[in-house]
Chain A
Amino acid sequence: MNAATPTASAPAPARPRGTDEPPTVRWLLIAIALAFLTLFLFVPLAFVFYEALKKGVGVYLAAISDPDALDAIRLTLLTAAIAVPLNLVFGVAAAWAIAKFSFPGKNVLTTLIDLPFSVSPVIAGLIYVLIFGLQGWLGPWLREHDIRIIFAVPGIVLATIFVTFPFVARELIPLMQAQGTEQEEAATVLGASGWQTFWRITLPNVTWGLLYGVILCNARAMGEFGAVSVVSGHIRGATNTLPLQAEILYNEYQFSAAFAVASLLALLALVTLVLKYFVGRRAVDRQHSAEHA
């Protein structure tokens, strides 16, 4: 790379005047947009941390190391640790079937995979109560065998799987469709087995898109409130996830503790946004370099 390439150092040609707004209009629009975002996004976010730390770091640390809070953290991590891998495997299988093969009803299947996003979280919880609850389809059988699903951990995991169901699949399907099947077909023709083709060709091509889906899936799994609230029964130390714990503390007017728990979830959201930003950029770079190759 020569430093003195004339094209690089030449100033960009000025835009034609007719397609730019006057500076006053430009700054006014920026100001209105930023004011709106500040009021609706940044202030609420700052408020969570302010309320959490208002009574000092000691109170904050005591609130997040309370036994109930620790139980809630453990349950939240456990739920995500089950729901995310299951939906990851599903997402990869669904994307493989939909992107690499043609079959009738493909568009219907793609729409059905997106279905959980259009269902209210409350209804997501309700339908599992209808199946596994005491009066539900499987209620009597479950009671006979002393298996608890509703108001217990399995119900929380199931409801979480439902609400995070489409995340990985909907990232992978368009990505794998765009990449086509030539590389995999070449590998197969050259004698690679199906698994070899998948691990050596397909997976490396979609790593960043897959990570992107996993990050979004995980954030929702850890933060889900409505669906989990319906099936949890709010048993302290047993079926409370972090969002439910924040709700209980808030309703008991323990605001500092509620916001302390909430601040952990807000931190998770910020980490998610940072990861999403970098992984999203890598995914885009990757796609561009693939297109130019």
Chain B
Amino acid sequence: MNARVDRRGARRVLPGFGLSLGYTLVYLCLIVLIPLSAAFFKTAQLTWPEFVAVVTAPRVMASYRLTFGASFGAAAINTVFGLLVAWVLVRYRFPGRSLVDALVDLPFALPTAVAGIALAGLFSANGWFGSLLVPLGITVAFTPLGVLVALTFIGLPFVVRTVQPVLEDLPRELEEAAATLGASRWECFRRVVFPIVLPALLTGFALAFARAIGEYGSVIFIAGNMPMVSEITPLLIITKLEQYDYTGATAIAVVMLVISFTLLLAINALQAWTRRRQGALT
């Protein structure tokens, strides 16, 4: 009893703990937790077989395949190019570098609907990109490829911004040591630099993937939204809502929420790993 009072007394010289924590919890519950729980309560009205039937219907399964497949593809593209962009921004000096660096965050700042109509316009048959690609037999607009393009756009900053600080803090001595010991530049990258940035790279991949599976605004304009072909899961939720199928929409939403929360925990673990890796070096 005494120990507890002492410990607390030592920690809590500052006022306002009860007020700030109380306000935080009330606001968090009202805005986030209670509304989110509504989705789970609504779905609990279904029996388990009903729930399974709704969330594994063929049209829903097709939407998962597209959403998760395109999200994975987009995150993979962003992992490769994000590492390259981060490397170029950290290691090289060229005219316009700070401008490019600042503009990498554009997909965070640009409203998704604006990105959506811009990409749809660019890739339509008479758009700047579409008029070049369609004669070659590559149709992007209104196909699953369009979904991939939109998700690549919105996921672009994640890998760059997670890898960049790790590359900046990378001790130059490590590479010098590798070079002195006879490693070629490529060997040095593969066996010294790459293992160090790997946790950050995976974190960036997971962040881009998690963002992509829930994305709506940038996708719907370019996707064509054909059931079974180019209909993403978030759009399917909206379609069901518009047909007043609240239970069906919510059941699919619960599946997405469970996947998102799992990803959030995985990302937290990856970030902890990144910090440990970095802490071990400095």
Chain B residues touching A, range: 35 or more
Q: Please pick, from A97, A137, A250, A272, the residue contacting B24 in the complex, using a CB distance under 8 A.
A: A97
In the complex the two chains form, is B111's CB within 8 Å of A223's CB? yes
In the complex the two chains form, is B102's CB within 8 Å of A273's CB? yes
| Chain B residues in 8 Å Cβ range of A19 | 172, 175-176, 179, 185, 188
B141 within 8 A of A: no
Q: Please pick, from B12, B234, B237, the residue contacting A101 in the complex, using a CB distance under 8 A.
A: B12
Interface string of A104-123 (1 = CB under 8 A from B): 00000101111110111111
Cα A258 to Cα B114 in complex, Å, equals: 9
- Known A-B contacts A162-B32, A273-B103; the reply to A243 vs B237 at CB < 8 A is no
In the complex the two chains form, is A122's CB within 8 Å of B234's CB? yes
Q: Please pick, from A45, A127, A137, the residue contacting B106 in the complex, using a CB distance under 8 A.
A: A45
* A interface SS class: helix
In the complex the two chains form, is B118's CB within 8 Å of A45's CB? yes
Cα A162 to Cα B31 in complex, Å, equals: 6
Binds A, one of B47-55, B84-92, B196-204: B84-92
Residues 80-109 of B at the A interface (beta carbon under 8 Å) = 81, 84-85, 87-89, 92, 94, 100, 102-109
| Chain B residues in 8 Å Cβ range of A90 | 23-24, 27
Which residue, B34, B122, B215, has most C-beta atoms of chain A within 10 A? Answer: B122
Chain B residue at smallest Cβ distance from A36: B81
Chain A residue at smallest Cβ distance from B234: A122
Chain B residue at smallest Cβ distance from A126: B253
A238 within 8 A of B: no
| Chain A residues in 8 Å Cβ range of B84 | 29, 32-33, 36
- Known A-B contacts A36-B84, A118-B260; the reply to A101 vs B114 at CB < 8 A is no
B128 within 8 A of A: yes
What's the minimum C-beta distance from B133 to chain A, rounded to whole angstroms?
A: 12
A194 within 8 A of B: yes
Chain A residue at smallest Cβ distance from B175: A19
What's the minimum C-beta distance from A42 to chain B, rounded to whole angstroms?
A: 7
In the complex the two chains form, is B256's CB within 8 Å of A101's CB? no
Binds B, one of A3-11, A59-67, A183-191, A285-293: A183-191
A-B contacts at CB below 8 angstroms, number: 286
Cα A292 to Cα B156 in complex, Å, equals: 35
In the complex the two chains form, is B121's CB within 8 Å of A255's CB? yes
Cα A123 to Cα B152 in complex, Å, equals: 21
In the complex the two chains form, is B109's CB within 8 Å of A219's CB? yes
Cα A255 to Cα B124 in complex, Å, equals: 13
Q: Please pick, from B21, B38, B176, B264, the residue contacting A137 in the complex, using a CB distance under 8 A.
A: B38
What's the minimum C-beta distance from B48 to chain A, rounded to whole angstroms?
A: 20
In the complex the two chains form, is B16's CB within 8 Å of A194's CB? yes
Q: Please pick, from A112, A189, A243, the residue contacting B28 in the complex, using a CB distance under 8 A.
A: A112
In the complex the two chains form, is B38's CB within 8 Å of A130's CB? yes
Interface string of A160-187 (1 = CB under 8 A from B): 0110010000000000000001001100
What's the minimum C-beta distance from A210 to chain B, rounded to whole angstroms?
A: 15
What's the minimum C-beta distance from A198 to chain B, rounded to whole angstroms?
A: 7
**Besides A44-B153, A120-B237, A129-B241, 11 new A-B residue pairs in contact (Cβ under 8 A), listed by A number:** A17-B179, A18-B180, A33-B87, A45-B118, A97-B20, A112-B33, A130-B250, A188-B14, A197-B15, A198-B16, A225-B113
B interface with A by C-beta (< 8 Å)? 11-17, 19-21, 23-25, 27-28, 31-36, 38-39, 42, 81, 84-85, 87-89, 92, 94, 100, 102-122, 127-129, 152-153, 156, 172, 175-176, 178-180, 183, 185, 188, 210, 213-217, 221, 234-235, 237-238, 241, 246, 249-250, 253, 256-257, 260-261, 263-265, 268
**Interchain residue pairs A-B with the least CB separation, the first 7:** A18-B179, A120-B214, A223-B111, A194-B15, A225-B217, A226-B216, A269-B109
30 of the cross-chain contacts (CB-CB < 8 Å) are: A18-B176, A18-B185, A19-B179, A20-B185, A26-B92, A29-B84, A33-B89, A37-B100, A37-B103, A40-B153, A40-B156, A41-B104, A41-B153, A44-B118, A44-B122, A44-B153, A90-B27, A94-B24, A115-B36, A115-B264, A130-B246, A137-B38, A222-B111, A226-B216, A243-B111, A247-B117, A270-B109, A273-B103, A273-B105, A277-B102
